[in-house]
Amino acid sequence: MSEKTRRLFAALPFEDASVSDSLTGIINELNIFRKDLKIVVKENYHITLKFLGDVKPETADKLIESFKKIDTGESPVPFELKGLGCFPDYSRPSVIWAGIICDIKPLLGIQKIIEYWSSTFGFEREKRRFTPHLTLARVKRDRMIEPVLKDFIRNNRETFITRSLFSECVLYESILHKSGPEYKKIASINF
């Protein structure tokens, strides 16, 4: 019998209700195109710092205990949620996101600590540059988004959405369901 793994990742959550409230109009607009998009539910808003993937139970237990002891040395980090964009580009987007405007140094410091922490458990370090953003929707496989949606994203590149603070880092377990993932907070560190 195989062990049941736990799908884990570390992230900065958007727990301030003003963030999801401020995104209501944008999400309503994206919902017009839901046949082509998978919209992220507001309970799952976060910035991924490190995706660990499927982890064996004994390793997960050690990760959780170790995570609780991390000291980032940071204070809460103020940010603005501003502008819409997409990855990889406007010609064939796969992810639609809202931009994060803040002093990037504290976020890079936290991300670096999380990278080091995970590497002590044998996880490979991320090679891509850390680009903080809030994923709002993913384009469904083999779908092209309509030109009117691309125009909406372009026309909102500089739109101010809200201000808030990042004040904790969370270790989540991602539980996959047919309706979409459920993110369960299993450990957190405040700063």
Select which of 30, 40, 45, 46 is catalytic. 46
SS3 track for the chain: CCCCCEEEEEEEECCCHHHHHHCHHHHHHHHCCCCCEEECCHHHCEEEEEEEEEECHHHHHHHHHHHCCCCCCCCCEEEEEEEEEEECCCCCCCEEEEEEEECHHHHHHHHHHHHHHHHCCCCCCCCCCCCCEEEEEEECCCCCCCHHHHHHHHHCCCCEEEEEEECEEEEEEEEEECCEEEEEEEEEEEC
Select which of 13, 63, 113, 133 is catalytic. 133
Residue 133: active-site member: yes
Residue 177: active-site member: no
Question: Which residues are annotated as catalytic?
Answer: 46, 133
